[in-house]
Structure 1
Amino acid sequence: MMQQMPRLLVVILNYRTAEMTLRAAEAALADMPTTNAELVIVDNDSGDGSAALLAQAITERGWGVGDRVRLISAPDNGGFGAGNNVAIRAGMSDGAPPDFVHVVNSDAFLDPGCIAGLLVHLQEHPRAGLAGSHVRGEDDLPHTTAFRFPTAAGELEGAARFGPLTRLLSSSVVAPPLPERPAQVDWVAGASVMMRWDMLTEIGLFDEEYFLYYEETDLCLRAARAGWDCWYVPQARCVHVGSVSTGMKEWRRMPRYWFDSRRRYFTKNHGRAYAALAVLARLLGGGLHHLRCLLTGRRPEDAPGFYRDLAAHALTARRSAATTKKPPSCPATEDRS
Structure 2
Amino acid sequence: MTTTKTSPSTASLSVVVLNYNSFELTIDLLRSLAEHELVDWMSVIVVDNNSPNDSYQEIKNAVASNRWDAWCRIVKSEQNGGFSAGNNLALVETTSTHVILLNSDTLVEAPSLTRLSQIADEQPDAAIFSPRLQWADGTAQNSCFRFFRPLTELVNAAGSGPITRLFPAATVPWETDGQGGHLACEPDWVSFACVLIRREVIEQIGLMDDDFFMYYEDIDFCRRARNAGYLIRHVPDTKVVHLRGGSSPVKSLQTQRKRRPRYYYAARARYYAKHFGRFGLFRANCFWLLGRGIAFCREAGGRRPPHACEAEWKDIWINFWNPLTGRHR
TM-score where L is the length of structure 2: 0.88
Q: Please state whether the residue corresponding to 2:175 is helix, strand or coil.
A: coil
Q: Please state whether the residue corresponding to 1:48 is helix, strand or coil.
A: coil
1:13 to 4, 18, 24: 18
The structural deviation recorded for 1:107 is 0.4
Q: Please state whether the residue corresponding to 1:235 is helix, strand or coil.
A: strand
The structural deviation recorded for 1:113 is 3.2
1:280 to 286, 294, 299: 286
Alignment of 1:318 onto 2:314? no
Task: For 1:1-337, list aligned pairs within 5 A.
Answer: 7-65=12-70, 68-91=71-94, 97-179=95-177, 180-248=182-250, 251=253, 252-311=258-317, 313-314=318-319, 317-318=321-322, 320=324
Aligned-partner Cα distance in 2 for 1:74–1:100: 23
Contact 2:15 2:102 survives alignment (8 Å): yes
Q: Tell me how many residue pairs correspond in the alignment.
A: 310
More off after superposition, 16-25 vs 283-292? 283-292
Aligned-partner Cα distance in 1 for 2:205–2:195: 17
Alignment RMSD: 2.0
Structure 1: stretches of 5+ with no match in the other structure: 92-96, 324-337
Contact 2:130 2:235 survives alignment (8 Å): yes
- CA gap of 1:250–1:227, structure 2 versus 1, over 3 A, is closer
- CA gap of 1:281–1:169, structure 2 versus 1, over 3 A, is same
Contact 1:99 1:197 survives alignment (8 Å): yes
Deviations 1:30-59 (A, max 9, x none): 333343311111111112111111111111
Aligned-partner Cα distance in 1 for 2:39–2:136: 28
More off after superposition, 118-127 vs 51-60? 118-127
- CA gap of 1:306–1:319, structure 2 versus 1, over 3 A, is closer
Structure 2: stretches of 5+ with no match in the other structure: 1-9
Q: Please state whether the residue corresponding to 1:64 is helix, strand or coil.
A: helix
Contact 1:156 1:284 survives alignment (8 Å): yes
Deviations 1:139-171 (A, max 9, x none): 543221110010112221122122222111112
Aligned-partner Cα distance in 2 for 1:241–1:319: 32
Aligned-partner Cα distance in 2 for 1:34–1:83: 23
The structural deviation recorded for 1:254 is 0.8
- CA gap of 1:290–1:140, structure 2 versus 1, over 3 A, is farther
Counterpart of 2:293, as a letter, is G
TM-score where L is the length of structure 1: 0.86
- CA gap of 1:100–1:142, structure 2 versus 1, over 3 A, is same
Aligned to 1:327: none
Deviations 1:215-252 (A, max 9, x none): 01100000000011111211111111112211335533
Aligned-partner Cα distance in 2 for 1:138–1:13: 20
